[in-house]
Structure 1
């Protein structure tokens, strides 16, 4: 008999995404990796997003939905981590969607290489059109990195998202997202890397990231410069330890 695969908790913060949330949820319920817990945190949506989430709870027993007053994506993700029961943790944004093989492929890499974190590349979709593949680019099928290697890469490649990563729960530990409105993932990923001994990066786009949705915050040059400065400061801390 095959070893039972561990439960993966996928945390989805939801806010006013009625035009996109169904595509996102369909990409999760149809994953080839079936042992999933899909946690939806409705962060005070004022459109039909919350109702769509509740409908999906009735369709699939793996889905749980929690409603809260609007507090921002950091607070929503923290709520998801608080209730997550899985041994492994993933994050998906509600206006994006996943390749149907995403979590199976990432789990396989995590198991084969005994990794603490697995990352993948992603497709960027700009106003409905594919604008290219983003993330760490290299010649091999995958790279195996120590946390210091990954920290240096992180600074150079600007690979800051949480949604292209599968993490062991003990890596996330009690680290909370800062409850700020923007860039909350940037301040968190470095702490995860510090807790990890081995990181695997898959040279394959398994996530579809949508940008320029009405109301989205796009990165401007000042934001990128700010993040690079902070990333370099974090790298110094890695090197000291």
Structure 2
């Protein structure tokens, strides 16, 4: 685990990890992906800027640091609840559950054509594929972006409503995390990362989630999370 104390913010741009060993590349990518999941599903407060320049890596201390919280935003619990349901449905390739969660989120109205539903579900399954795959997932070989783009024209033509406002910033962040995994040539067990978050998720309205007021979420991010396989943030 990264050492405690001493602050963060040192190191070199995280792209430099691409020149390091396979084990180091996979470990760093896994930690960034885990952080992304925790930002949304645990803290509900996400640094939404996908720029890789917001991450530094200190190889001597094995420390990942996050910088610049100007683009951070909070997400309401009902949205996060339904987003968790949608992601979980996509990892299990459950068409009905994916559609139900998508309607609850506002992606769909429930009146869409079969062709539109097919495209929406297919794109969702592609995006959820890393978290449902058994064993290490090769992001570079998966061609996620190209496969999703195949369905975009159909969705743009046939959709009955625009996506919910929250997803624009969120999907930029998720896309950035995926692209970083590709840049690092990472092959990691994403299902293990997701299942740990999902199995501990509390759907109850009374759940105390740090991101509820934004300020607490910001404090969590700024203070960082140090421990087993967890990055330190500054």
Q: Which has the higher helix share?
A: 2
Q: Which has the higher strand share?
A: 1
TM-score normalised by structure 2 residue count: 0.24
TM-score normalised by structure 1 residue count: 0.24
